[in-house]
Structure 1
Amino acid sequence: MLSGSLLQRLNERRDGPGWRRLASHLSLLAAGALLWGCPALPALPTAALWALRLVGLLLLGWGLAFGFCAMHECGHRTAFASKGANDAVAWWAGVLSFYNADYYRRYHQWHHRFTHQPGLDPELEQAPASTLAGYLLELSGLPWWIGKVRGHTAGLRADFGGRPYIPAEAAAAVTRSIRLQFGVYAVLLAASLWQANGALFWFWLLPLAVGQPLLRFVLMAEHGGCSTDTDGLRNTRTTLTLGPLRWLMWEMPFHVEHHLYPSLPFHALAEAHGHLAPQLVHTGQGYLAVHRSFLQDPAQLALP
């Protein structure tokens, strides 16, 4: 659907957009942490201080949770020109967002290969919500936490049974990566306990939990209620939204474009959308409209 010359230009790997997006994402984390940890100020009323802190908690939580989007983009090795930069940023973004980048890269390859196909797409290993109660539970992030704890625990044991996207020859490397990641968490936990300040809880675990509902809100729209056939124009949704959310998501609201051309860097997706928009099936709606549809008929999220 895109000409060869256009695709060649859009596929160009560049460092500048990736470093600028990463720097701004880290700035959000820093601003959120500073506001959330803001000390009492004599000139500031208590209510105003806590309002400021809660804004910081939200910003920090969204920055941590949406580190997933940075990991996802770098996992495709399209955010930067070099493989090394992509892999390093992906790994640390996974640490922040409680994913493991090396595991996720292989998992996600299968998601692209078998997009929204029951029994094949690993994103459908857990059946999606199909009732109002299930929908609200999914938005809370609780099933995600349970799945992550179980998955990481199995990975620490090198147990990848039932996960064909982790072949035997990759199991050792993925296990090392997960163990190294939990080594980072152990060091941070030890420092937190040593200083008796609970920093790991207050500045990572709690904000990440606060940020999860918004991430679940946007991720549910990517394939929820779409076809389960192999047509990339029908099994995926592009959601038109505001610039700040597109920025936070590393342009992933252009999700059909990403699935049709996963080699495109995040900064090329908006231009690709301009060429592909007339052919898209699930587009033209914002996230509120998509979720209004889900609330009116949660059963549409069920798989056949």
Structure 2
Amino acid sequence: MTDLQQRRSPDPGVLKALSERRNGPGIRRISAHLALLVPTGAAILAAPGAWWLLAAVAHGIVLMFLFAPLHESVHRTAFRSGWLNRLVGDLAGLVLVLPPRWFAAFHFAHHRFTQDPDRDPELASPKPTTLAGYAWIVSGVEYWHRTIRGLLRRAAGIAPDGFLDDRLRARAIAEARVYLAIYAALAAGSLALGSDLVLRLWVVPALLGQPFLRLYLLSEHWGCPTVKDYWANTRSTVSLAPVRWLAWNMPNHAEHHANPAIPFHALPAYAALMKGARVHEARGYAPFHAGRIADVAAGRAGPV
């Protein structure tokens, strides 16, 4: 057996310890993540004139990276307690317009069929092959159009997604209707009070922050081969500590796909244990996108 094969088969006792689900790390991380929204939100409210838009970018990045606890919560690894996973998933899903019960079904299908062009639901929206397509996706407009359209269709009882069985389809439809009712209540309340706080602290920051989340997510699989090996069809990215913190350690994405039962707080230790197993590693998000833009411009980038 080679050293690489040995690294891919760590001691079961070590894996069991790394896979232990705990409340403490998740409570500390989500508390700090939400606390970070206080100074960024205060900066929006305190900024004079149109300067609040600059603060809204920072606020929007923190808001949109609530995708990380949403992702961890649907895996039920953010916390040991199920109710905490559900609560955080619902709150983050509301911010992102990404209901967690539907997203869980979507995401688990993605894990089962990663980079399979026929069965991975992430590939239903192809990766960009032109500079205009790249700009369209990175802008976030494609995300909001696809996500809001899907939410409205499910609320109308239209849920054709192949990864939904009858039980999950009924749950996704009910969930979409609850989410729309909440959004309608927020809009009605804002109008009744003559308040623009929802726009200033959520809607506009979400629009400004979404491109940063798109840039982050594009690195995970774009350009990886259509093979079943999770170490080969998924990319990890070497990133700065603030990015790793904000993304709940998910830059270790190949490690996450190889063993999705490992909670976010144990992923760095698992990555160290499996050092050398990654097939695709980006040395930062800026170099990754510089390389992909060059590939797109040269016609070398495919839709997977």
In the superposition, the TM-score normalised over structure 1's length comes to 0.93
Q: Is the 8 A contact 1:61 1:210 kept in 2?
A: yes
Residue in structure 2 matched with residue 197 of structure 1 by the alignment: 195
Determine the C-alpha separation between the residues in 1 that align with 2:143 and 2:282.
28
Q: Count the aligned residue pairs.
A: 294
Residue in structure 1 matched with residue 43 of structure 2 by the alignment: 35
- 1:171-210 matches, within 5 Å, as 171-210=169-208
Q: Give % identity.
A: 35
Residue in structure 2 matched with residue 20 of structure 1 by the alignment: 28
Match of 2:16 among 5, 8, 12: 8
Residue in structure 2 matched with residue 223 of structure 1 by the alignment: 221
Q: Secondary structure, in 3 states, of the residue corresponding to 2:219? A: helix
Residue in structure 2 matched with residue 43 of structure 1 by the alignment: none
Residue in structure 2 matched with residue 158 of structure 1 by the alignment: 157
Residue in structure 1 matched with residue 95 of structure 2 by the alignment: 96
Unaligned runs of at least 5 residues, structure 2: 1-7
Residue in structure 2 matched with residue 233 of structure 1 by the alignment: 231
Most deviating of 61-70 and 236-245:
61-70
Give the ranges of 4+ consecutive aligned residues of structure 1 lying more than 4 Å apart after TM superposition.
Answer: none
- 1:1-304 matches, within 5 Å, as 1=8, 2-38=10-46, 51=51, 53-161=52-160, 163-298=161-296, 299-303=299-303
Can you list the C-alpha shifts for 1:101-139, whole angstroms capped at 9, x where unaligned?
A: 110001100000000110100001112101111112111
Most deviating of 279-288 and 202-211:
279-288
RMSD: 1.5
Determine the C-alpha separation between the residues in 1 that align with 2:138 and 2:13.
41
Q: Is the 8 A contact 2:159 2:173 kept in 1?
A: no
Most deviating of 7-16 and 29-38:
29-38
Determine the C-alpha separation between the residues in 1 that align with 2:37 and 2:176.
23
Question: Match of 1:65, as an amino acid?
Answer: M
Q: Is the 8 A contact 1:32 1:55 kept in 2?
A: no
Shift of 1:199: 2.4
Unaligned runs of at least 5 residues, structure 1: 41-45
Question: Match of 1:109, as an amino acid?
Answer: F
Shift of 1:228: 1.1
Shift of 1:206: 0.7
Shift of 1:27: 1.0
Pair 110,36 (structure 1): closer, same or farther in 2 beyond 3 Å:
same
Question: Match of 2:124, as an amino acid?
Answer: E
Q: Is the 8 A contact 1:238 1:257 kept in 2?
A: yes
Most deviating of 192-201 and 137-146:
192-201
Question: Match of 2:170, as an amino acid?
Answer: A
Q: Secondary structure, in 3 states, of the residue corresponding to 1:225? A: coil
Most deviating of 89-98 and 294-303:
294-303
Determine the C-alpha separation between the residues in 2 that align with 1:120 and 1:300.
23
Shift of 1:300: 4.4
Pair 39,60 (structure 1): closer, same or farther in 2 beyond 3 Å:
closer
Shift of 1:164: 1.6
Q: Secondary structure, in 3 states, of the residue corresponding to 2:228? A: coil
Can you list the C-alpha shifts for 1:173-218, whole angstroms capped at 9, x where unaligned?
A: 2212121112211111111101112222222111100001100001
Question: Match of 1:68, as an amino acid?
Answer: F
Q: Secondary structure, in 3 states, of the residue corresponding to 2:36? A: helix
Can you list the C-alpha shifts for 1:86-106, whole angstroms capped at 9, x where unaligned?
A: 011111110011111110001
Determine the C-alpha separation between the residues in 2 that align with 1:224 and 1:36.
34
Q: Is the 8 A contact 1:130 1:302 kept in 2?
A: yes
Q: Secondary structure, in 3 states, of the residue corresponding to 1:283? A: strand
Shift of 1:39: 6.0
Q: Is the 8 A contact 1:254 1:269 kept in 2?
A: yes
Determine the C-alpha separation between the residues in 2 that align with 1:243 and 1:30.
21
Can you list the C-alpha shifts for 1:128-169, whole angstroms capped at 9, x where unaligned?
A: 1011111121111111111012110111012111x1211112
Can you list the C-alpha shifts for 1:249-294, whole angstroms capped at 9, x where unaligned?
A: 1111000000000000000111111121212111151111111110
Determine the C-alpha separation between the residues in 2 that align with 1:123 and 1:300.
20
